[in-house]
Structure 1
Amino acid sequence: MASRAPVIVVVAAVIMAAARLASGSGYYPVAAPFTSSSWQDGSATFYGDGSGLGADFGGACGYGANDIQSLYSTRTAALSTPLFAGGAGCGQCYELRCVNSRWCNPGSPSVVVTGTNLCPPNWYLPSDNGGWCNPPRQHFDLAPPSFLLLAERVAGIVPVQFRRVPCQRSGGVRFYVQGNYYWLLLYVMNVAGSGDVSDLAVKRAGEPDCSYVPASHNWGITHQVFAALGNAQGLVVRMTSYSAPQKTIVVGDAIPAWWSTGLSYQGSSNFY
């Protein structure tokens, strides 16, 4: 008579997986990790205060001055329209290296930056003479310290090669909370892996998964939920990355009971 032990093991595994999902523990099928893309051609300039710090470096995505300094430092870039992609490019990481210019630093060192802003087009100038961010150009307007790692300041603009790379972050996802108890606006930051977010949903801690309320993308790194969630309970956030291969995580230990708007909360889960 054939043994039925393997069937019992499989059934037990399914039951355990279902239990972990119901508990909001963050268990989801393991997706392949985000990997670096192939190199492409682009260009780079620099803008803003020479320190590379301040709210000017995160405006179009929604990062504040403290977010820039504490999470991304001077390794940031304003992205041209094709790379910004309506806000989907916010939080994505790129490796750049200067090429084919006498102003490139010796050895053509590379720098990894996070997309934190939009470099808007300037239709009054030609794309090859001042309108560096005009579509379809793939252009990076860097914080000055990042640009100076690639080339000399006198260059102004240099040709680069770039590629998407996995974002290396310290700690879990961070949420800056705005809105009120009936309309929640979450600024989603410090995202590892692909660095971006597509789908997001929120529920009160302790409630079943059927209680998740889907969020809609507002702008940049912000997602909004129209629901009377209150703050007597903590909030659990389920989020899925934007870039393939997509991965879903649950952040259940970031936003505690009696949370307040105007504050940031950081969990332990991330797209590692």
Structure 2
Amino acid sequence: MARSRYVLVATVLMSSVMVDVTGDYSWDYAHATFYGDIHGGGTMQGACGYGNLFSQGYGLETTALSTALFDNGLSCGACFEIQCYDDPNWCFPGTIHVTATNFCPPNYSKPNDNWCNPPLKHFDLSMPMFLKIAKYRAGIVPVQYRRIPCVKTGGMKFEINGNPYFILVLIYNVAGAGDVRDVKVKGSNTGWIQMTHNWGQNWHTQTQLVGQSLSFQVTTSDGRMVQSDDVAPAYWKFGQTFEGKQFWRI
């Protein structure tokens, strides 16, 4: 049974809008355990910076990633299809879709007894997702997995935190590749400013932008970029969340 540490979750939300993303969707091999309880207790928050996973649209369709998959938080928001593999005593048929929202940290004091230690590829699933592909008593099972496009409802979300001298923006609900790799911000009185990856899917700038409307350019791991102009009006406040454009099919 999984003994989770931090919580990383993954999920895909179905909608009538499809996305067209190019990429390598071949199957690879890993293992999976679970953490939390049947209602998702212990899976909220986490190392990606996402807060209430229900209100943010991720729900219980989530997973934590081991170091080999987490990529220092840049894999947050990526979506995966997973199936239990080659263990008829413990596996159920079918697949699950999950979104990465947390980190399963290594424990180097147990080099031979921790599935999240590098270089192992491992998914620490929410309990409801694990129980869709394997029996509870299995605890840990071999799986096949592959990246899939994320399908979301509505636009990308930008949650603005920090202070007048340090603006921290959490980006979530990203369709397509799902994992953000580059962000630029533009105030109504500035040009485009490169933001720095801080942690999870939080990006920051030390440029003073209070009192200006904000626009964003977001680039995902497949190289696609979406520009959302004037997402936040000039009177935006810290702690507010704004909706931008989305990676819909072109």
Tell me, yes or no, whether TM beats 0.5.
Answer: yes
Residue in 1 that maps onto 2:155:
172
Match of 2:14 in 1: none
Offset from partner CA, 1:51-87 (integer Å, 9 cap, x none)? 1256x444111111x2444311001110000100111
1:95 aligns with 2:81: yes
* 3-state SS, counterpart of residue 82 of structure 1: helix
Quick check: which has more Rg, 1 or 2?
A: 1
From 95, 104, 116, the counterpart of 1:119: 104
Q: 1:216 aligned to 184, 187, 196, which one?
A: 196
Q: Does 1:230 align with 2:216?
A: no
CA distance in 1, matches of 2:165, 2:175: 29
Quick check: which one's strand share is greater?
Answer: 2
**Counterpart secondary structure, 1:124:** coil
Specify the alignment match of 2:168 in structure 1: 185
Among candidates 92, 115, 118, match of residue 132 of structure 1:
115
C-alpha distance in structure 2 between counterparts of 1:253 and 1:152, whole Å? 49
Give the distance between the partners of 1:36 and 1:240, measured in 2 at CA.
Answer: 18
Distance in 1 (CA, whole Å) between partners of 2:191 and 2:166 is 16
**Which structure: greater helix fraction?**
1
Any stretches of 5+ residues in structure 2 without a counterpart? Answer: 1-19
Residue 170 (structure 1) shift: 0.8
Q: How big is each residue's C-alpha offset from its partner over 1:206-236, in whole Å with a ceiling of 9 and x where there is no partner?
A: x5xx7111111111110001111112x3210
Contact 2:174 2:246 in 1 (8 A): no
TM-score (norm 2): 0.85
- C-alpha displacement at 1:257, in angstroms? 2.5
Cα deviation for residue 268 of structure 1 reads 3.2
Report the Cα distance in structure 1 between the residues aligned to 2:55 and 2:23, rounded to whole angstroms.
26
The amino acid across from 2:30 in the alignment is G
Task: Pick 1 or 2: higher relative contact order, CA cutoff 8 A, min separation 6.
Answer: 2
SS of residue paired to 1:237: strand
| Pairs aligned (count) | 229
The answer (yes or no) to whether the contact 1:57–1:76 under 8 Å persists in 2 is: no
- Is 1:74 aligned to 2:60, yes or no? yes
CA contact (8 A) 1:124 1:131 kept: no
Q: TM-score w.r.t. structure 1 length? A: 0.79
Change (3 A) 1:172 1:53: farther
Letter paired with 2:40:
G
